[in-house]
């Protein structure tokens, strides 16, 4: 028995009260974006509390796999929709269970339409009796079944489905606004970006490079990470802004207190990110900082760095330890790329003894002795490249003020 529908659930969205339909509409849009290569090959429709998708048979598994990576979906199941008739239901259940002759099963009945007869307990007895008469060798196991066979009596039809597959949950991307994520080539920032998607943020990315000190391979690594993150987005093309930071990096080598170099470098990253964010109408920044992980991520460092920003800075990993971050990185397939041995501009210029508890006043004093404002103006004008990440790959385009 081939299931021809995919039953999509969105548990958190059902708690949104008067705004629920807005969230569901965004989720439908994002699903369609992710399935844009299959236009005309599937049917999508709403059912109370569910989205029902019927793909063509030849793309069924591909569509199923893509839905598992769409934020806002809590779980999906292979399913079948039948008319609201008990005899029809009975026939289909017996037909389905015949595909699992060597498996144990449990029947779960849910009557959303309470007017449907027979009642749930009677349905379980009658359906189990029909299964036993046809397949007496199939065992019932109510505690640990191989197959959980579910029946939902809905208002418009009866849905039959087997085991639930958990999806990503969270909120639909675009439901919480637009952020600019500072994407390095390391482990942390891709995971932070993933968690921003989970809470409904739409992301653009900014990456800082210092040629010739950083290689083309390190930039390719960032391209690979952003392509991987694309599958968790809203399904539309992503924007990646690559900033050549070499001019400013050279200027930072003249600081009278080299221990402040990383602190001030990050303050410069934040200032440039603020300018780009304003151009693309992003309302906040996002970083992969985790409290206490390195010298630049102590509470004093975070405070001093954030002082340079006019936008709020989100830090999804702030209370995660490294093992937690690595675990997520592996689960979202960014870890293998992140650990490739190509240097980023932070690791190349770390002083011997970076300051652990920097002071805002001292950072500002150090900055007053270098020409950072003029150099940032030059960087924004001449040293920012814009790339588009899409299903088709990565390509360079003109830098402009549109997201």
pLDDT tens-digit map of 132-147:
999 998 999 999 999 9
Average pLDDT of the segment spanning 167-177? 96
Long-range contacts, stretch 150-153, CB < 8 angstroms, 24+ apart: 150/77, 150/108, 150/109, 150/110, 151/89, 151/93, 151/107, 151/108, 151/109, 151/110, 151/123, 151/127, 152/110, 152/112, 153/84, 153/109, 153/110, 153/111, 153/112, 153/113, 153/116
pLDDT of residue 342 exceeding 90, the answer is no
pLDDT band of residue 343 (cuts 50, 70, 90) is low
Contact 79, 96 (CB under 8 A): no
pLDDT band of residue 348 (cuts 50, 70, 90) is low
Checking DSSP bridges between strand 384-390 and strand 393-397, what pairing results, if any? antiparallel
DSSP state of 393: E
Rounded to the nearest integer, the mean pLDDT of the chain is 92
Predicted confidence at residue 13, as pLDDT, reads 74
Q: Residue 381: which residues within 8 A CB-CB, separation 6 or more?
A: none
- The 3-state DSSP class for residue 151 equals strand
Predicted confidence at residue 341, as pLDDT, reads 82
Of 30-34, 330-334, 341-345, 371-375, the least confident: 341-345
Average pLDDT of the segment spanning 258-265? 94
Q: Please say whether the structural domain 5-166 has been given the CATH code 3.30.2130.30.
A: yes
- The 3-state DSSP class for residue 298 equals coil
Contact 233, 173 (CB under 8 A): yes
Predicted model pTM:
0.92
Distance between CA atoms of 335 and 347, rounded to whole angstroms? 18
Element of type H or E holding 209: strand 202-209
394 strand-pairing partners: 389
Nearest CA among 329, 247, 342, 241 for reference residue 285: 241
Contact 271, 375 (CB under 8 A): no
Domain residue limits, the chain: 5-166, 178-397
Nearest CA among 1, 5, 2 for reference residue 154: 5
Question: Residue 338 to residues 175, 189, 290: CA-CA distances in angstroms?
Answer: 28, 10, 17
Predicted confidence at residue 335, as pLDDT, reads 97
pLDDT band of residue 400 (cuts 50, 70, 90) is low
pLDDT of residue 8 exceeding 80, the answer is yes
Predicted confidence at residue 364, as pLDDT, reads 97
Q: 178-397 adopts what CATH topology?
A: Rossmann fold (3.40.50)
Distance between CA atoms of 57 and 25, rounded to whole angstroms? 26
Average pLDDT of the segment spanning 22-40? 96
Give start and end residues of each alpha helix (H) in 135-236: 188-198, 216-230
Cis peptide before 212, with omega less than 30 degrees from 0? yes
Predicted confidence at residue 60, as pLDDT, reads 96
61 strand-pairing partners: none
Written as six digits, the tokens of 104 are 């144990």
% pLDDT > 70, the chain = 96
DSSP of 108-129: EEEESSTTSSS-HHHHHHHHHH
pLDDT band of residue 293 (cuts 50, 70, 90) is confident
Query: Within its chain, how far is the Cα of 197 from the centroid?
Result: 4
Written as six digits, the tokens of 279 are 């151009």
């Amino acid at each position: 028995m081939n299931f021809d529908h995919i039953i999509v659930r969105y548990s958190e969205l059902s708690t949104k009260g008067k705004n629920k339909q807005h969230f569901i509409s965004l989720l439908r849009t994002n699903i369609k974006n992710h399935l844009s290569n299959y236009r005309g090959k599937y049917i999508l429709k709403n059912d109370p509390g569910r989205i029902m998708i019927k793909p063509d048979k030849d793309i069924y598994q591909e569509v199923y796999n893509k839905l598992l990576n769409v934020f806002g979906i809590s779980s999906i199941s292979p399913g079948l929709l039948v008319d609201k008739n008990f005899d029809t239901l009975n026939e289909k259940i017996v037909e389905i269970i015949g595909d699992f002759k060597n498996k144990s099963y449990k029947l779960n009945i849910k009557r959303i339409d309470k007017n449907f007869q027979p009642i749930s307990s009677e349905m379980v007895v009658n359906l189990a009796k029909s299964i036993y008469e046809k397949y007496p060798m199939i065992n019932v196991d109510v505690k640990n079944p191989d197959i959980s066979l579910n029946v939902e009596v809905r208002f418009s039809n009866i849905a039959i489905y087997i085991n639930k597959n958990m999806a990503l949950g969270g909120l639909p991307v675009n439901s919480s606004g637009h952020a600019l994520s500072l994407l390095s080539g390391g482990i942390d920032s891709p995971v932070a970006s993933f968690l921003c998607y989970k809470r409904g943020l739409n992301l653009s990315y900014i990456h800082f490079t210092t040629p010739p000190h950083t290689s083309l391979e390190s930039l390719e690594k960032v391209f690979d990470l952003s392509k991987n993150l694309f599958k968790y987005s809203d399904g539309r093309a992503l924007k990646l802004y690559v900033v050549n930071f070499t001019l400013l990096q050279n200027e930072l080598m003249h600081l009278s207190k080299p221990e402040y170099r990383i602190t001030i470098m990050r303050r410069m990253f934040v200032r440039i990110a603020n300018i780009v964010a304003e151009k693309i109408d992003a309302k906040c920044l996002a970083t992969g900082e985790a409290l206490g992980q390195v010298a630049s991520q102590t509470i004093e460092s975070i405070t001093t760095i954030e002082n340079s920003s006019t936008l709020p800075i989100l830090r999804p990993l702030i209370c995660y330890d490294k093992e937690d971050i690595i675990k997520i990185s592996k689960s979202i397939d960014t870890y293998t790329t992140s650990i490739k041995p190509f240097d980023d501009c932070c690791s190349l210029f770390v002083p011997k003894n970076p300051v652990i508890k920097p002071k805002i006043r001292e950072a500002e004093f150090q900055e007053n002795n270098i020409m950072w404002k003029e150099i940032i103006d030059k960087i924004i004008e001449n040293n920012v490249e814009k790339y588009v990440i899409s299903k088709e790959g990565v390509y360079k385009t003109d830098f402009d003020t549109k997201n």
